[in-house]
Amino acid sequence: MICWRCANQVSEGGAFCPRCGHNLTEIGLSPIFVVDTATDLFNGVFIKAMIGQEVNRALRYRRPVAVLMVEVDHAESMRNDLRPDEVSRLLRQIGQSLVAALRDTDTVGFVTGSSPPTFAVVLPETEPSEAIQVADALRLAVSFQDFADGGPWQRLTVSIGTAVINHERLGEQDLMQEAGAALADGRGSEPGTNRTFVPARA
């Protein structure tokens, strides 16, 4: 399926184009307000809607889908060391590293700037083992990036929680919540940074 507006290749059954935010079925409609102005990524509202739509599609067609929640490590200290505009610039650059390391079919959004800053990524058609590989690739990309104007934060890391669809389970599946919980549980039981976590009972 091709977006009527920007000719982006989009997955079948989606409601919005992940590149330009235009409604795919109601041609001519303006894009929904989708962009976070600090990072230039999709905002939390849009990425949440997109994840909901991908999860529904995956359940309907029994396809795999995965979600990653990506948190900046030591965000509290980052805020103490940097001015708000410097934090924003750094978050924008982290977002750019994530986008560069992702595949064309993946979509990243900026969920929240409050501590810790969090990005969400939706990985359509992605099996659990691949989701971990993508998460690890994102962590590596960020950890190797030289954030030249980050001052003491020229080098930084992220930690990532993953969640995948479970076709055997009944009821609603909130993969953002599950990936966030995997991250919180992982951080709680294993101190450290630059980690990928999967839910305890996948």
Q: In this chain, which of 1, 6, 29, 202 binds Zn ion, going by CB under 5 A?
A: 6
Query: Nearer to Zn ion by C-beta: 107 or 145?
Result: 107
Which residues, 6 or more positions from 185, have their beta carbon under 8 angstroms from its beta carbon?
A: 197, 199, 200
5 lies in the site for Zn ion, by CB under 5 A: yes
**CB under 5 A: which stretch of 3-11, 41-49, 104-112, 145-153 binds Zn ion?**
3-11
- Is the Cβ of residue 103 or residue 167 nearer to Zn ion in the bound state? 103
Closest separation between CB of residue 8 and Zn ion, Å? Answer: 4
Which listed range, 6-14, 97-105, 106-114, 128-136, lies at the site for Zn ion (CB under 5 A)? 6-14
Distance CA 163, CA 99 (A): 19
The answer to whether 91 touches 114, Cβ cutoff 8 Å, is no
Burial class (CB in 10 A: 0-12, 13-18, 19+), 128: middle
| Minimum distance, C-beta of residue 18 to Zn ion, in the bound complex (Å) | 8
Distance between CA atoms of residues 84 and 112, nearest Å: 14
Which residue reads 């810790």 in tokens? Answer: 116
Per CB under 5 A, contacts with Zn ion among 16-75 are 17, 19-20
Q: Which residues bind Zn ion (CB under 5 A)?
A: 3, 5-6, 8, 17, 19-20
